[in-house]
Amino acid sequence: MAGRDALGILPTGAGKTVCFQLPAHLLPGTVLVVSPLISLMEDQVGRAKAVGLRAEVLNAGVPESRRRRILRDAEQGLLQLLLVSPERLHLPRFSAFLPKIPISLIAVDEAHCVSQWGHDFRPAYLRIGEVRRRLRAPVLALTATATGRVQAEIEDRLGLERPVRVIGSFDRPNLVWEVRPAAGHGRKMAEIRSLLRRRAGATIIYAATRRAVEAVRKDLAGKGLPAIAYHAGLPDPVRTTVQGGFLDDPMPLVVATNAFGMGIDRADVRAVIHYQLPGSLEAYYQEAGRAGRDGEEARCIALFDKKDRGIHDRFAEASSPSPKKLRSVHRYIVARHSVGVGFWLQPGKLRKTLGWAGGAREVLDVLKALCRSKALAIEGLEEAGAADSLFVVLRSSTLDLGEYDLHRSIEQAQNQAVQEYARGRGCRRGSLLRYFGDQSLRGPCGRCDRCQKGPGAGLFGRRANN
C-alpha cells in the first residue's frame, strides 16, 4: 500500500487473496494479478466480483470481442483488478499494450512458480521482473510453500527491491500427520475404508493418476460410500458440478488428482488422505494443508507403498523428454517462424507431421520442456489438451538445455525428500517444518503418528495416550 515491494509466505487458508483484493479496492488504478492456471484465475475473478470489485480475466479462452472490451476498460482505468497468465505478459500485442494501463500494483500469485526449486516451475514467471522494470509499479509476491532457497530465488528473479517480508509460520498445530504403510491397491482400500468409518465434514482423497482416482471411487461406491471423482479428463460441466457439490454438501467425499484444490475454499475439510504421495513435499504440504482451515482438528494421512515412487519417476521422465526430441521440435519451429512472432499450433497435428508414434501428450510434454528451456512461450499450456490450438511465441532460435538439465535433477531431489519423509523414524510434523526452514518445534509434537505411537481408530477417534 505504501509503494514498497513485498514478499508474503502465508500458509494455505491464511488469506493471500485478500492481500491483493484490498489494495485493488483502495488504490487508484488497476492491480495486475499474475496467476498460473486458467481455472484458478476464473475462480479468483469470480470472488473479486462477489465482493464488489470491477475485475476481469484475460486468458486464451476469452473471445476476441470480449478481450477488446476488457482492454478498452483497462486503458480507461475502469478496472480495479485484472488477472492474466505469466505467458500473456510476454505476448507481443499485450506487452506493447501494458504501459497504457494505469497499474498501481503487480501481484504475483503462486510465486514459487518462479523457482527451479519450486514444485510447479513455470518459465514465463522468470520474465516478470522485465515487466516490472517497464511499469515501475511495486510487486507483491505471494505463495503458501517456499523453502528459504525458493524465497531467495523469488526475490532475485522478480527483482524485488528491499521487500517487506511477511513469513508466516508453516506450522499448523491443528493438523495431525500420519503415514501408513500399505502395499498394493487392496491394502490401501482397506485402510481408506477403515479411516472413513467415522468421518465428518468434508474429505478429500488424492491420487496421482486419473486411473487411480477412478479405481478408488469405484471401490468406495461398491461399498456404499458416495464418492465422486475429479480429474482433468472429465468434461468441464462435470468438474463444475463436482466443485459445487463439494462446497454445498454437508459431508462430501471427493477422490481427485491434484487438479482439485486451487480455489476450493472450504474450511471444514476434516481429512485429506493421499492414496499416493505426491512427487515433492511442497506439493504434499499444499494439498494436505487444505484440511482444517477452520482451526479445528483435521487429519492428513498418507498411504505409502515403496513402489509408488515409480509413478513419479515416470512423471519426471514424461515431463523431461529426450534432448533429441526437444531439438527436433525446436528445429521444426525455427525453420517456419521468426523469433518474437506469435503463431497457432495444434499438438495433435504436429505429432502427425513429425511422424511420432506416441500420443499427442508427448508433444505437449516436449512443448512444456521447450518453455522451461526459454525457447518458447505458450499461454494456457498447463491446461491444454491434444486437440487445443495453442498460441506460441518463438523466443530463441538457439536451444540451451542447461536449465532443463537442472530441472531434471531437482525433480529427483524432491522425490527423494518425499521418500525420506515417509520412511523417516522421527517426528513427521518436525520433519516437514524443518524442510521449510522452520526450526521452532522442539521435542515430540504430540500431533503425528510417530509422537502419538499407535494407529488411530478412524479419522476422528482419539488415541488412548492422547
Neighbouring CB atoms inside 10 A of 358's CB total 11
Span of 197-206, 273-282, 317-326, 418-427 with lowest mean pLDDT: 317-326
With a pLDDT cut of 90, the percent of the chain lying above it is: 46
% residues pLDDT > 70 (the chain): 91
pLDDT tens sequence across 336-345: 999 988 899 9
Return the C-alpha cell found at 402: 542447461
455 has pLDDT over 60: no
* Each residue's pLDDT tens digit, 149-208: 889 989 998 999 999 999 888 888 999 999 999 999 999 999 999 999 888 889 999 999
Q: Which of 428-431's residues contact partners 24+ apart within 8 Å by CB, and which partners?
A: 428/177, 428/178, 428/179, 429/171, 429/175, 429/177
Amino acid 119: pLDDT: 57
Contacts with 15 (C-beta within 8 Å, 6 or more apart), sequence order: none
pLDDT of residue 207: 94
Range 388-404 average pLDDT: 86
Locate 433 and state its grid cell.
517444518
Cell of 387: 486437440
Task: Tell me the residue length of the chain.
Answer: 466
361, pLDDT greater than 80: no
Most confident of 37-46, 224-233, 267-276, 439-448: 267-276
Q: How far apart are CA 190 and CA 374, in angstroms?
A: 46
Residue 122 clears pLDDT 60, i.e. is over it = yes
- DSSP one-letter string for 358-420: S-HHHHHHHHHHHHHTTSEEETTGGG--TT--EEEEE--SS---HHHHHHHHHHHHHHHHHHH
User: What pLDDT sits at residue 462?
Assistant: 42
Q: What is the pLDDT of residue 461?
A: 46
* DSSP-based three-state secondary structure for 269: strand
* Contact call for residues 141 and 6 (beta carbons, < 8 A): yes
What are 122's three cell numbers? 513455470
pLDDT-derived band at 133 (thresholds 50, 70, 90) equals: confident
Q: Kindly report the CA angle at 141 between 4 and 342, in degrees rounded to 5?
A: 115
Which residues are CB-neighbours of 451 under 8 A, at least 6 positions away?
427, 428, 429, 444, 445
pLDDT of 256 > 60? The answer is yes
Q: Specify the DSSP class assigned to residue 448.
A: B
Q: What confidence score (pLDDT) does residue 398 get?
A: 92
Q: What is the pLDDT of residue 463?
A: 39
Confidence of residue 443 (pLDDT cuts 50, 70, 90): confident
Q: Contact 271/459 with Cβ under 8 angstroms?
A: yes
Q: Which of 148-157, 207-216, 322-331, 452-461 has the least mean pLDDT?
A: 452-461
* Predicted confidence (pLDDT) at residue 228 exceeds the cutoff of 90: yes
Query: Rounded to whole angstroms, what are the CA distances from 441 to 45, 189, 427, 454?
Result: 38, 33, 10, 21
444-453: buried (b, 16+ CB within 10 Å) or exposed (e) per residue? Answer: ebebbbbbbe
**Identity of residue 18:** V
And the C-alpha cell for 49? Answer: 466480483
- Label residue 457 by pLDDT band (50, 70, 90): very low
Q: Which residue has the higher pLDDT, 417 or 317?
A: 417
Position 459 pLDDT exceeds 60: no
The residue among 244 and 142 whose pLDDT is bigger is 142
Average pLDDT over the chain reads 86
- Separation of alpha carbons 138 and 32, rounded Å: 11
Q: What is the pLDDT of residue 81?
A: 96
pLDDT band, residue 118 (cuts 50/70/90): low
Q: Is the pLDDT of residue 117 over 80?
A: no
Q: What angle do CA 418, 424, 425 make, to 5 degrees?
A: 160
pLDDT for the residue numbered 93: 86
Checking if the pLDDT of 406 tops 80, the result is: no
Helices 347-354, 323-334: axis angle to 10 degrees equals 100
Q: What local confidence, expressed as pLDDT, does residue 454 receive?
A: 52
pLDDT of residue 374: 83
Q: What is the pLDDT of residue 400?
A: 86
> Looking at the predicted structure, is the pLDDT value of residue 69 above 90?
yes
Contact status, residue 276 vs residue 208, Cβ threshold 8 Å: yes
pLDDT at residue 315 tops 80: no
Q: Among 15-19, 55-59, 114-118, 223-227, whose mean pLDDT is lowest?
A: 114-118
Which H or E run contains 352? helix 347-354
Instruction: Using CB atoms within 10 Å of the CB of residue 415, give its burial: 0 to 12 exposed, 13 to 18 middle, 19+ buried.
Output: buried
Average pLDDT value for residue range 392-411? 83
